[in-house]
A and B are shown apart, each in its own frame.
Chain A
Amino acid sequence: MPKKLVISPNKCTGCGICMLACSYRHFKVINPARSRIRVVRLPHEPVDSPIYCIQCGLCISACPFNALSRDLRIGAVKVDPEKCTGCGICVHVCPYGAASRDPKTHKALICDLCDGDPECVKVCSEGVLLYLDPDDAAEYKRIAFSRLQRREVTPLRPDTR
């Protein structure tokens, strides 16, 4: 069974090396705007969080041009660049903001798990990004899901005196 990409939360420092490596692996350039993984840093809150594609496949059925399919070997969503028109429906339906369009080609940027060898996992020295067997990955998925139900702690706003 294909492995899953998951994160071990709270460890991310927000360095963004994963984004730079992602653009390098796919385009041989450094450009975080062309990365398939995005690290979000919330101002005034202790949050740095890698937003990545969980390969849910919602975009596959939404694509009006049949440009997206499931690579069964890897378990990743595959973009057919010939068919992709850059319409952006996949970006529209993705609930996590994990799909985007390439600023240069305007075609869909969706995580392809680097053909089963994710570059972001290799470069993350904090051990935030993990590529695990499905059963192990499920543990991290449960943690991520349970975090949605934790009590909200409202941090102080800036310039509170």
Chain B
Amino acid sequence: MADGKLYGYAGKILRVNLSKAKIVEEDLRPDLLKLYLGGTGYAVRMLWDSLEKGIDPLSPKNLLIACTGPLTGTLTPCSGSVEFAFKSPLTGIFGQTRAGGRFGPKLKYAGYDFIIVEGASDKPVYLSIMDGSPELRDASHIWGKTVHEATDILLEEVGDPEASVACIGPGGERLIRYASIMVDYDRAAGRCGGGAVMGSKRLKAIVVNGDRDIEAAKPDEFYEAALEAIKAVSKQGRGSLGQFGTVGGLLGLNESGALPTKNFQTCYYEEAEKMSGQELARKYLLKRRACMGCPIGCGRYVWVPSGPYMTPPHEGAEYETTDMIGVQSMIGSLEPLIRADYLCNTYGIDTISAGNVIAFAIEAYERGLITDEDTGGIKLRWGDADACLKLLELIIERRGIGDLLAEGVKRAAEKIGRGAEDFACHGKGLEVPAHDTRGTSKSFAIQYAIGNPRGACHIEPLWAGMWDFSRSSLGLRELGLPWPPPSRFEEVGVKRGEACRLLWLYGELASILGICRFSMQGGEDEILTPARLSRLVSTLTGWGLTPKDLIKISDRVYTLKRCFNVREGVSRKDDRLPRRLMEPLATGPTKGQRVENLDVMLDETYEALGWDKKTGKPTREKLKELGLDDVAEVIWGG
């Protein structure tokens, strides 16, 4: 960076104030880049610095930051990534949510690494970033339209079919707390309610395209590193993930007793065959689809050509959705699942949260905690696809019980009371996804309980089962990953905390560098190991960053995200699991598995992370070591 030029980055931030209808350009700050690199790392620093503690996430005071990382949109495999960072209206803590598609790369080609959206508009608007001239435009004509309708209209309006659109559907407009931001029709930034933040700002969409260059500091070396990386990751394209999508793993998980079913009562589903990726490929798959720069192509372009569940072609039916909507409520048929997924996409709500909430409602109905009066006469029963679809419509329209369920499972359970909290599966308010604390790996008990940064999540920072379930070392052994891994059911004294720390810090790099985690999960010969990432980032930016340097940056980012949450009031007492996720599993190969020693596992993990065991705060020493002295002053006092 001797000449002051930033390689790999676009170099600019677009700051949009919706209250004042003002747009300004700012330069990226090299001092912050050195510490946080980019993506949600750079964004969490901006949110920490700019957001007051305790603001209402749906007020104009919240910020919505669209983030890319240095690797986004480069020739790095799986770099078609965009992350959105904000304070979550679902959890009240740090929120981040990611989508693939083409938006992230296009934003960089348009000349920006980040968009910061401030304030709120009086009337619906959209942000157009075309031909290097960003502007706010009226969106009253598309307010109320579905994601698919609005995207069609916008692409025509900007006159560029190759532009990329990130928009919200009616879900975001109605402030459903788990509303998604949808990218290029069907790619979902689903988690944490980013769509509701956009809706609260009356920002319907962002449309972007551009034709600027991204340059590497060492062009030939970078190209060589990228080709080698593409070659490695493309092996996954020829494997199950590429050929059968994420849902290709569903049967294997079921056989291992790791397929959450019936609102997490069990991890084994009798009818799993009917919901498999192989069945999907046989009957409903039109083609595979990849995000920009991805040699895997896990996307499933599917449809239901006729019948009561007729659904137009769209990208859908990935594993999370299939389990959360199709298996948890025991629908046992792909057609209504595909339809439900499509409705979630085009109305803009998260399929994981929606599925979780629906299964919760069925169980609450079964226990008599909600009645026909609440549901408007819909009889909620396990396996009743039509009832599920009707309930989904109520949620989308915020009608009847749907209005309560649109607030998320935590708020719904609190309102319903009478023991409903025991089977409301969330961590810090984020609905638990389709991987289990007992059936998959005990690491998920820790991961969901700590829920850093965004609540109970399987993939942010990383699918921790890579270590003891998949038994892949991810190139982390040189960095100290305990090896060989223990049985996935073993709880304490097996270095689980140490392992989780390293897995998470490695995974965190995806959202910092701006790439998809699927390029980081698998065998060492088919993923972006720390060594490959180091080579890519170093040749791209010209900064010599070793795997150790990367992990250190990651540690800083992960720790600062925790501090953001601590500032919002999170402490050890919040690092817990709902009762359901500790109870013995009811059936299947993992029958009887439960979580017995959560507190000991947490102690081990805090210790590894450098967090205070009593309060759950990162210690003063840890913060000093990371150069976060100013942050230490805020959370520990001066």
Of the candidates B75, B219, B223, B286, the one whose C-beta lies within 8 Å of that of A46 is: B286
The secondary structure that dominates the A interface is: loop
Contact between B230 and A13, CB atoms less than 8 A apart: no
Contact between B211 and A126, CB atoms less than 8 A apart: no
Give complex CA distance A31, B314 in Å.
Answer: 27
Give complex CA distance A17, B185 in Å.
Answer: 21
Given contacts A15-B291, A24-B75, A125-B295, contact A29 B312 (CB under 8 A): no
Given contacts A20-B75, A126-B237, contact A13 B290 (CB under 8 A): yes
Given contacts A17-B230, A24-B223, contact A29 B290 (CB under 8 A): no
Q: Which of A1-42 contact B (CB under 8 A)?
A: 10, 13-17, 20-21, 23-24, 27-34
Contact between B286 and A44, CB atoms less than 8 A apart: no
Contact between B215 and A29, CB atoms less than 8 A apart: yes
Give complex CA distance A35, B405 in Å.
Answer: 48
Chain A residues contacting B213 (CB-CB under 8 Å) are: 23, 27, 29-31, 34, 104
Chain B residues contacting A28 (CB-CB under 8 Å) are: 215-216, 219
Contact between A158 and B149, CB atoms less than 8 A apart: yes
Contact between B148 and A159, CB atoms less than 8 A apart: yes
Chain B residues contacting A122 (CB-CB under 8 Å) are: 227
Chain B residues contacting A33 (CB-CB under 8 Å) are: 109, 210-211
Smallest CB gap from B215: residue in A: A29
How many residue pairs at the A-B interface have CB separations less than 8 Å? Answer: 114
Stretch at the interface among B248-256, B298-306, B372-380, B604-612: B298-306
Give complex CA distance A30, B540 in Å.
Answer: 11
Give complex CA distance A43, B182 in Å.
Answer: 14
Contact between A125 and B237, CB atoms less than 8 A apart: yes
Chain B residues contacting A13 (CB-CB under 8 Å) are: 287-290, 294, 297, 299
Give complex CA distance A157, B223 in Å.
Answer: 41
Q: Which of A123-147 contact B (CB under 8 A)?
A: 123, 125-126
Contact between B231 and A125, CB atoms less than 8 A apart: yes
Given contacts A31-B212, A32-B109, A125-B230, contact A158 B290 (CB under 8 A): no
Chain B residues contacting A15 (CB-CB under 8 Å) are: 80, 290-295, 297
Give complex CA distance A71, B491 in Å.
Answer: 68
Give complex CA distance A156, B77 in Å.
Answer: 32
Q: Mark B64-94, 1 if CB is under 8 A from A, else 0.
A: 0000000001110100100000000000000
Chain B residues contacting A20 (CB-CB under 8 Å) are: 74-75, 293
Q: Is B578 an interface residue when CB atoms closer than 8 A count as contact?
A: no
Given contacts A15-B292, A29-B213, A45-B313, contact A159 B227 (CB under 8 A): no
Chain B residues contacting A46 (CB-CB under 8 Å) are: 286-287, 301, 313
Contact between B312 and A156, CB atoms less than 8 A apart: yes
Q: Is B138 an interface residue when CB atoms closer than 8 A count as contact?
A: no
Give complex CA distance A158, B311 in Å.
Answer: 8
Contact between B109 and A157, CB atoms less than 8 A apart: no
Chain A residues contacting B437 (CB-CB under 8 Å) are: none
Q: Is B521 an interface residue when CB atoms closer than 8 A count as contact?
A: no
Task: Please give the distance in Å from B587's CB to the nearest CB on chain A.
Answer: 37
Q: Is B146 an interface residue when CB atoms closer than 8 A count as contact?
A: yes
Give complex CA distance A158, B292 in Å.
Answer: 23
Chain B residues contacting A32 (CB-CB under 8 Å) are: 105, 109
Contact between A159 and B313, CB atoms less than 8 A apart: no
Chain A residues contacting B303 (CB-CB under 8 Å) are: 155-156
Give complex CA distance A44, B290 in Å.
Answer: 15
Give complex CA distance A16, B162 in Å.
Answer: 12
Of the candidates A14, A16, A31, A156, the one whose C-beta lies within 8 Å of that of B211 is: A31
Q: Mark B260-287, 1 if CB is under 8 A from A, else 0.
A: 0000000000000000000000000011
Chain A residues contacting B227 (CB-CB under 8 Å) are: 122-123
Contact between B313 and A156, CB atoms less than 8 A apart: yes
Q: Is B139 an interface residue when CB atoms closer than 8 A count as contact?
A: no
Given contacts A14-B290, A15-B290, contact A159 B146 (CB under 8 A): yes
Q: Is A160 an interface residue when CB atoms closer than 8 A count as contact?
A: yes
Chain B residues contacting A31 (CB-CB under 8 Å) are: 109, 211-214
Q: Is B490 an interface residue when CB atoms closer than 8 A count as contact?
A: no
Task: Please give the distance in Å from A18's CB to the nearest CB on chain B.
Answer: 11
Smallest CB gap from B219: residue in A: A28
Give complex CA distance A126, B238 in Å.
Answer: 8
Apart from A13-B287, A28-B216, list 13 A-B contacts with CB within 8 A.
A13-B288, A17-B230, A17-B295, A20-B293, A21-B75, A27-B213, A28-B219, A33-B211, A34-B211, A44-B312, A104-B213, A156-B312, A158-B312
Binding site for A on B (CB under 8 A): 73-75, 77, 80, 102, 105, 109, 146, 148-149, 151-152, 155, 161, 185, 210-216, 219, 223, 227, 230-231, 234, 237, 286-295, 297, 299, 301, 303, 305, 310-314, 346
Binding site for B on A (CB under 8 A): 10, 13-17, 20-21, 23-24, 27-34, 43-46, 48, 103-104, 122-123, 125-126, 155-161
